[in-house]
Amino acid sequence: QVQLVESGGGLVQAGGSLRLSCVVSGRIYSLNGMGWYRQAPGKQRELVATITSDGITTYTDSVKDRFIVSRDNAKYTAYLQMNSLKPEDTAVYYCKADVDLLDMMGGSQGEYDYWGQGTQVTVSS
């Protein structure tokens, strides 16, 4: 139906940068809000940043002024630019998309949430 594929994770030294991408594909009638979440070992998954289809963004306090979320609606892709990375940013990062599913008549079948498989970000001190 709908697939999300994240990429761009890796190992980086503290103070470095990474750019994550999340490509959405499948039976998309409309791609609505998107969000980036992360889950560190032994911790609950937490919201990092969100972006609406109009480009309105929100951030959790710990990443404000360091991370930038953006999207390219034509490419069904969201990005997370992560700067000044800290060891505490180490986690698996997940992308979530709110998608209106395309039905067989060309209309919307309803809005559903979809998750990507996650990409590991490791920041060394």
What pLDDT does 44 receive? Answer: 97
Q: How, if at all, do strands 91-102 and 77-82 pair?
A: unpaired
Q: How do residues 81-106 score in pLDDT, each as one tens digit?
A: 999 999 999 999 999 999 999 998 88
Instruction: Give the residues of the chain that fall short of pLDDT 50.
Output: none
Q: Give the helix, strand, coil percentages of the chain, each rounded to 5.
A: 5, 60, 30
Give residue for tokens 């890796």.
10
pLDDT on residue 59? 98
Q: Is the alpha carbon torsion for 118, 83, 78, 88 positive or negative?
A: positive
The confidence score (pLDDT) of residue 106 equals 87
Query: Which residue in 117, 118, 105, 115 sits closest to 29, CA to CA?
Result: 105
Distance, in Å, from the CA atom of 108 to the CA atom of 91, rounded to the nearest integer, reads 35
- Largest pairwise CA distance in the chain: 54
